Structure 1
Amino acid sequence: MPETIRTGTRRRRLLLAGVASAGIVALAIPGAAASAAEHHHGPEHHPAKVHVENLQLLAINDFHGNLEPPSGSSGTIKEKDATGAVVSTPAGGAEYLATALREARKGHRDSLTVAAGDVVGASPLLSGLFHDEPTIEAMNKIGLDVTSVGNHEFDEGSAELLRLQNGGCHPTDGCYADGRRFKGADFPYLAANVTSEKTGKPILAPYWIKNVHGIKVGFIGVTLKGTPNIVTAAGVKGLKFGDEVETINKYTAQLKKQGVKTIVALVHEGGYPAGATYDADCDSPGAGAGISGPIVDIAKNIDPAVDAIVTGHTHNSYNCTILDPAGQPRRVTSAASFGRLYTEIDLPINRATGDVIRSSVTAANHVVRRTIPKAGDITDLIAYYQKIAAPIAGRTVGYLSADINGRGSTDPETPLGELIADAQLEGLAPADKGGAQIAFMNPGGIRADLVYQASGSEGDGVVTYAEAFTVQPFTNMMNVIDLTGAQIITALQQQVSGANEAAPKILQVSRGLTYTLDFTRSGADRVVVDTVKLNGEPIDPARTYRVAMNEFLAGGGDGFGAFAGGTNKLVGASDLDMFTAYLTAHSTATAPLAPPAEDRITVVGNGAGLD
């Protein structure tokens, strides 16, 4: 039988983990040959005495190893206060998330906790230093039942993802304490659309079935098909990423053949809500309603037999209904990121048919407030790793005079982006280091703000190695390459055209490079070519320039194919090393670093809020 839900204790054993193919998955689930039954996807009309099984789903996404409460804008949620004004409320932290989820489960006979990818990756130092083992251990304690993979689960490659699933010490760093071996995840990672190039089979289980008091509930997990465009080539080597809709519909058909009529899709792809607060009504007409982005078309085309879609990737919060292909409303949700929210979805299931009563499904996002008690077991886990990390984490690398915003900035050009690009240019400008004249930084690689006083502050204005690591956690190696002026202009145009036209990705640029972005225009024309200058001189399309960037960008990541055409590559130190070296060289306790002026990109029209 499929795994049976337990009450009381939240510890479970894996049913499916690390399997090599869909065929093996089917064999691993007794009852796979059960006869199929029609799934009623529309609103149901039942006699008065319908016996209903109420299944509670608690959902998170994009946790990114944030065990400690995030600082700056990464640690707040926008909501309305009693006067109706929009305020930023401190939220998140694994100790509070654990308590919030445990409290939410009380009074529910049937409750499952699910995630939509990026549980790990791009993590702060406390998790990233230990290859995210602490976060997996925390999720085991919190009671995560199942998750899809996200793009960041592939930051260190598929072999490392399989280790996080199955356990074992890191192949090069080993175990982090004598006699303490990493046991792996108690929950299955689902990767339905991630297949091996050699075998054509999913690298992990494509779906998972839970027996909820005699009712089979199926979960299908996918990541965005564009994962190879936003992960280093080494991270996705040997893998193929299939279409989200085609994959979900394929495995929905398989689940239906096994008699599964309650199906949930965990999709690491998302959307952009119109509302400004975490609980904005997606479905009401008028200003501030609605949702856009890739998840809309995905949701509109997923098989009507799927009853709810839990999403992620864009780090936004929403609770929407989007019509399925049969014209019936279906819940599509996302809980922001970093454990600041969780989504509660209530699925009433007709016990006689096994179908979800879609007309009665409800969902709501809840803030993980830091006013609730901390979960003691998570506090102990954090303290354990803090002690091991302390000699590295607490080292002072610089001083600030004020917040330097990156992730929290709403402008295309960010102070922290400028600072990082300047650090890369300075480190790679010497002739023997590459002779860089320009540096570019991808906005998605800036994972946090540098704040004047972090939560649990070690001292006003002090920047620790842990805080710098949180900003630049990938430790990508820096590259210096030859690019023509024409290639540089093309790269600037690729910020706002092609794959990036709908959701522009504005590169952060080093000092000396200036240009105008005109958002009253469309596509590539938004870059005003005759304004692109280096140190006041127009960029010459025929001239060759030495340009610094991290290895991800140099490989054409984030849709910047122009960079992949670079030649004469020189590999330098890591981006993190250059960042910390710059902070140390340019600040002291008596002369702290001030936020750079945002004066390199002139923006015409509404360019605020772009990634």
Structure 2
Amino acid sequence: MKQLFAALLLALTFNSQAMAQSRTVKLRVIQTSDVHGSFFPYDFINSKPKAGTLARVSSYVNDLRKTYKDNVILLENGDILQGQPTCYFYNYINTQARNVAADVVNYMKYDAQAFGNHDVETGHAVYDKWIRELDCPVLGANIIDTKTGKPYVKPYIILNREGVKIAVLGMLTPAIPNWLTENLWSGMKFENMVTSARKWMKIIQEKEKPDVVIGVFHSGKDGGIVTPEYEEDASLRVAKEVPGFDMVLFGHDHTRYNETILNVEGKPVVCLDPANNALNVADAEVTITLNKKKVNGKKQYVVTDKKIVGSLPDVTKCPIDEDFMKAFEPQIAEINKFVSKQIGTFKNTIHSRESFFGSCAFNDFILNLQLQITNADIAFNAPLQFNSTIKAGPIYVGDMFNLYKYENQLYVMRLTGEEIRKHLEMSYDLWVNTMKSPEDHLLLLDTQTKGDQQRLGFKNLSFNFDSAAGIDYEVDVTKPDGEKVKILRMSNGQPFDEKKWYKVAVNSYRGNGGGELLTRGAGIPKDSLDSRIIYRSERDQRYYLMEAIEKMGTVDAKPNNNWKFVPEAWTKPAAQRDYELLFGKKK
């Protein structure tokens, strides 16, 4: 018995020594991205409950904190400052108050915030104030201050959890100048993401010697705008080509993604994108094994193994955090008061979905107001909402976010007749199929994009499907790309001349090169766009639309019927088929 007891004691001593030589740390890394003002479980635009939102993410994170305590790392990946009246009100109306987007991030105790392109779009006055109001650092290694040559915000942060050192590096898509006028990002430039990541990875590894490296990138998976200098969506490229990242958390493209890829050294990198509107979060469970080893003559714990499992949990079934809601009661009341102000009355109901099939009341109402506000000859506009409705009856401030989604300015540009036609050619090439038979699709659809939040069943992005007012034209879908658009006349009956200069109203996204319709389509060099702009509005386009509706009082929106798809014997039945595929049967 004595021998048995001694053996057991020896085994226990050995095991406890072995345990003392080794320990395990568990972390949970949670990322939100492209929240777009979805803070509260109420849609202030459509006056109805809202799925997901940070009110539910808050309860999800609180549950994790019960188990993981301080080992929950919470990261926000940008595009938080635009999308709901919530944001608009605190960005541009009640500018004296703290921005609600800072209050929400602070309440939830985020560890870091990355910059998104829609955050930059709010302008220096808004985002510089927001940065000052945040309790956590804003990250953007490739956002360079042109005066100092250093990052405009912090490039990375270091977090310590139970002896584990974690580096978080933030970056933003460098395609900002393709969408936004320079005054919004004055004093800043945006570096290629791969180049910037290589530079900062070297600094982080040499200076910080972290155990875990996380990338938080407001840039999509791959593709987007590609120039000789950069790619818009380069997150996977960075993950593959820049060794050192254990995980890359990204966003911007509003498309869920959960894959573990191998980098150029053959090491795994967990890549997660939770898409948009806080319906899902990116959740990485990290298990780290540390063993005691001699380092420079001293025994210390060294990471010997890392296991990371990524997931994209749906938070729409999570309970609403009632404490969160109570904390924001004053802001919610202010926003409700703002959106419920009546500005006019609509005689008839209009639908954005009709914009894809021809001249329609929804898109033409915006085009006509652009012409009226600017006194331009021609106007371009694309449907910014896939399927929104303005109902007959009273129209409120909240409805204006359905009528016009983004905070774009209004521009007037000088374009030749030929450039106008080429601009439209590229738009319709992105938009419609080349029909070879009556049974073909009218629209350029893609079954792979039916569920995603950006293409919504189209092959291309529908916010680049510009149609025009001020000219009468036909789009022959049997003709090859580049030859579909035939401009018949100006809508006032005057002849249209391809050699003549015209004043054209566009939104600032388009006027700055967004969608490449003016550059790749019309053939205008990117660096010449600025010289073509002869008018820039001081306020956003929605503000002027709202002002115009208030002056009109009662609105009778009708289609201009200034353009159509031909041959109609083919296009009308094809339009009906494609309508049912995208939206179901008309009621």
Task: Name the TM-score, length of structure 2 as normaliser.
Answer: 0.71
- For these two proteins, the number of residue pairs brought into alignment is 490
1:57 is paired with a residue of what secondary structure?
Answer: strand
Query: SS where residue 129 of structure 1 aligns?
Result: helix
CA distance change for structure 1 residues 412 and 556 in 2, over 3 Å: closer, same or farther? farther
Give 2:173's aligned residue: 224
- The equivalent residue for 1:313 is 252
1:509 and 2:467 correspond: yes
- Paired with 2:45 and 2:90, the residues of 1 have a C-alpha distance of 25
The one-letter code of the counterpart of 2:211 is K
Cα distance in 1, alignment partners of residues 350 and 165 from structure 2: 50
For the residue of structure 2 that corresponds to 1:250, the secondary structure is helix
Counterpart in the other structure of 2:75: 114
Structure 1 SS opposite 2:165: strand
Quote the Cα distance in structure 1 between the aligned partners of 2:514 and 2:303: 43
In 1, the alpha carbon distance for the partners of 2:149 and 2:418 equals: 40
Q: Matches of 1:597 and 1:379 in 2, distance apart?
A: 47
1:207 to 134, 139, 156: 156
Aligned-pair CA distance for 1:61: 0.3
Would the alpha carbon gap of residues 398 and 599 (structure 1) be closer, same or farther in structure 2, given more than 3 Å must change?
farther
Is 1:270 the equivalent of 2:229? no
Map of 1:308-347 to 2, 5 A cutoff? 308-347=247-286
Q: Provide the C-alpha distance between the structure 2 equivalents of 1:256 and 1:242, rounded to a whole number of angstroms.
A: 20
Q: Find the counterpart in structure 2 of residue 32 from structure 1.
A: none
Closer, same or farther: CA 206–493 of 1 in aligned 2, 3 Å: farther
Q: Larger radius of gyration, structure 1 or 2?
A: 2
Return closer, same or farther for 1:568/1:294 CA change in 2, 3 Å cut-off: closer
Q: Are the counterparts in 1 of residues 140 and 171 from structure 2 also a CA contact under 8 Å?
A: yes
Give 1:576's aligned residue. Answer: 542
Residues 1:544 and 2:501 are matched in the alignment:
yes
Tell me the CA shift for residue 247 of structure 1: 1.1
Question: How far did residue 242 of structure 1 move?
Answer: 0.3
Is the deviation greater in 547-556 or in 483-492? 547-556
Question: Which AA in structure 2 matches 1:543?
Answer: K
Alpha-carbon spacing, 1:153–1:293, altered in 2? closer, same or farther (3 Å): closer
Distance in 2 between residues matched to 1:296 and 1:411, nearest whole Å: 35
Matched, 1:441 2:441: no
Residue 370 (structure 2) pairs with residue 424 (structure 1): yes
Residue by residue, what CA displacement relative to the aligned partner does 1:271-311 show, whole Å, maximum 9, x if unpaired? 389xxxxxxxxxxxxxxxxxx99346524544221011111
2:52 alignment partner, one of 59, 71, 92: 92
Q: How does 1:22-41 map to 2 (within 5 A)?
A: none
Match of 2:513 among 552, 556, 560: 556
Alpha-carbon shift at residue 489 of structure 1 (Å):
2.7
Is the 1:449–1:471 contact (alpha carbons within 8 Å) kept by the matching residues of 2?
A: no
Q: Does 1:479 align with 2:429?
A: no
**What percentage of aligned pairs have identical amino acids?**
19
Give the counterpart letter for 2:280 in structure 1: L
RMSD value, Cα: 4.3
Q: CA–CA distance in 2 between the matches of 1:324 and 1:544?
A: 52
Contact 2:352/2:388, CA 8 A, preserved across alignment? yes
Give the Cα separation in 1 of the matches to 2:328 and 2:560.
Answer: 34
2:450 pairs with 1:491: no
Question: C-alpha offsets along residues 285-340 of structure 1, whole Å, 9 cap, x if unaligned?
Answer: xxxxxxx9934652454422101111111112221233312234422211111212
- Which one has more relative contact order, counting CA pairs under 8 Å at least 6 apart? 1
- The one-letter amino acid paired with 2:179 is I
Cα distance in 2 for partners of 1:345, 1:451 equals: 38
402 and 356 in structure 1: CA distance in 2 versus 1, 3 angstrom threshold: farther
**One-letter code of the match for 1:397?**
I
Secondary structure of the 2:276 match is coil
Distance 1:313 1:354 in 2: 36
Which string of whole-angstrom CA distances, capped at 9 and with x for unpartnered residues, describes residues 458-506 of structure 1?
xx96432133146546554423333211221343356569xx9x95552
Deviation at 1:222, TM superposition (A): 0.4
| TM-score (normalised: structure 1) | 0.68
5+ unaligned residues in a row in structure 1: which ranges? 1-46, 77-88, 167-183, 274-291, 429-433, 454-459
Q: Deviations over 1:401-421 (max 9, x none)?
A: 557347x99889997544433
- Tell me the SS of whatever aligns to 2:312: strand
Supply the distance in 1 between the matched residues of 2:395 and 2:404 (Cα, whole angstroms): 13
Looking at structure 1, the residues matched to 24 and 197 of structure 2 have their Cα atoms a distance apart, in angstroms, of 27
The offset of 1:424, in angstroms, is: 1.6
Q: Provide closer, same or farther for how the CA distance between residues 300 and 187 of structure 1 changes in structure 2, counting only shifts above 3 A.
A: closer
Within the candidate set 367, 391, 403, 2:314 is matched to: 367
Structure-2 change in CA distance of 1:533 and 1:60 (3 Å): farther
| Structure 1 pair 55–510 and aligned structure 2 pair: CA distance change class (3 A) | same
Q: Match for 2:424: what amino acid? A: L
Matches within 5 A, 1:367-406: 367-369=314-316, 372-398=318-344, 404-405=351-352
Q: Distance in 1 between matches of 2:283 and 2:319?
A: 20
Moved more, 205-214 or 593-602: 593-602
Following the alignment from structure 2 to structure 1, what is the Cα–Cα distance between the partners of residues 151 and 550?
46
What letter matches 2:309 in structure 1? Answer: T
The letter of the residue matching 2:399 is E
Q: Distance in 1 between matches of 2:327 and 2:558?
A: 36
Q: 1:243: how far off?
A: 0.8
Question: Partners in 2 of 1:165 and 1:355 — Cα distance?
Answer: 34
The structure-2 alpha-carbon separation of the partners of 1:412 and 1:537, relative to structure 1 and needing over 3 Å to count, comes to: same
1:58 maps to 2:30: yes
| Structure 2: tracts of 5 or more residues without a match | 1-18, 92-97, 224-230, 292-300, 431-454, 583-587
Give me the whole-angstrom Cα distance separating, in 1, the residues matched to 2:47 and 2:264.
37
1:341 aligned counterpart, secondary structure: coil
Which residue does 2:297 correspond to in 1?
Answer: none
Counterparts of 2:180 and 2:233 in 1: how far apart (Å)? 18
Structure 1 or 2: more helix by fraction: 2
The aligned counterpart of 2:145 is 196
Aligned-partner residue type, residue 166 of structure 2: V
User: Structure 2 vs 1, CA of residues 228 and 532 (structure 1 numbering), >3 Å: closer, same or farther?
Assistant: farther
What is residue 29 of structure 1 aligned with on the other side? none
Give the whole-Å Cα distance in 2 for the aligned partners of 1:479 and 1:66. Answer: 29
Q: Which amino acid aligns with 2:215?
A: A
Measure the CA separation in 1 of the matches of 2:245 and 2:56: 31
In terms of mean alpha carbon deviation, does 504-513 or 530-539 score higher? 530-539
Deviates more, 1:575-584 or 1:199-208: 575-584
Measure the CA separation in 2 of the matches of 1:520 and 1:307.
50
